[in-house]
Amino acid sequence: MDRTADLGAALGFVVSRIEEQAMRSGEPLTEQQRFLLNNLPRQSAAPEFNTGDPEFPLYFVPRDTTYERLCALAKAAHRSDLELNPGSPDWEFAFNVSKLSRHPMCWLLQWAGMKQRRPWGERWLLIIAALLFIMSTMPLMLLVVNEPVALWRWTALVAGYVSILLLMYFASRRIEERQLERNIERCRSASRFASTLAR
């Protein structure tokens, strides 16, 4: 799997569909919108405004109408494609590839209403992970309970907790990456099958 080629194909598909939807709506993309679509920021560039009240600080972020229009166009294009061809894997492929590559297009697609397909057993895996975490932390707690305060015990407790949390974090990241790769391969297979039937 060539991630760079996949990302290029996914971005090209989404950009072209958004541009087509803008043309179809009768209001083509402006240069500013086209520039934003091709150069999505990795973090919000909008300034935050504080009300100044230290007890109840409220932060206001001004609306980004350009980005909102791109999200609305992506949502409309996605819905239109689903109505025409419900079995098409193109949008799901683009979403999975952009999420796997941690590209900002993933956020735009999420705002447009796309969601990652999750396996049916994911909730059970979460429950099992929580039980494993509880069972692995019990010995650490027993190490310091009803014992005189000792620096080495508290150090072992903290190190054990940090190690378990880091292990769970990296394991969950790896599981999510493998799931995205499986989704991408499934989309590829469906696309190949559809193109074979079209011939």
**95 and 149 together in one domain:** no
Domain boundary among 100, 116, 132: 116
Residue 197: predicted pLDDT: 47
Domain boundary among 53, 87, 116: 116
**111 and 150 together in one domain:** no
**66 and 15 together in one domain:** yes
Residue 109 or 191, more confident: 109
How many C-beta neighbours within 10 Å does residue 23 have?
11
Domain boundary among 88, 116, 144: 116
Residue 61: predicted pLDDT: 56
**79 and 9 together in one domain:** yes
Residue 45 DSSP SS3: coil
**5 and 100 together in one domain:** yes
Q: Which of 54-58, 107-111, 112-116, 168-172 has the lowest mean pLDDT?
A: 54-58
Backbone angles phi, psi at 53, to 5 degrees: -85, 115
**77 and 138 together in one domain:** no
**16 and 44 together in one domain:** yes
Q: What residue numbers bound the domain in which 189 lies?
A: 120-199
pLDDT 10s digits, 20-71? 999 998 999 989 989 988 888 876 555 555 555 556 555 555 667 888 888 8
**48 and 82 together in one domain:** yes
Prediction pTM value: 0.69
- Total domains present in the chain: 2
Using the predicted structure, report yes or no on whether residue 4 has a pLDDT greater than 70. yes
d(Cα 185, Cα 108) in Å, to the nearest integer? Answer: 22
**32 and 44 together in one domain:** yes
Contact 6, 97 (CB under 8 A): yes
Average pLDDT over the chain, rounded to an integer? 79
Residue 53: predicted pLDDT: 57
**31 and 79 together in one domain:** yes
Contact 153, 141 (CB under 8 A): no
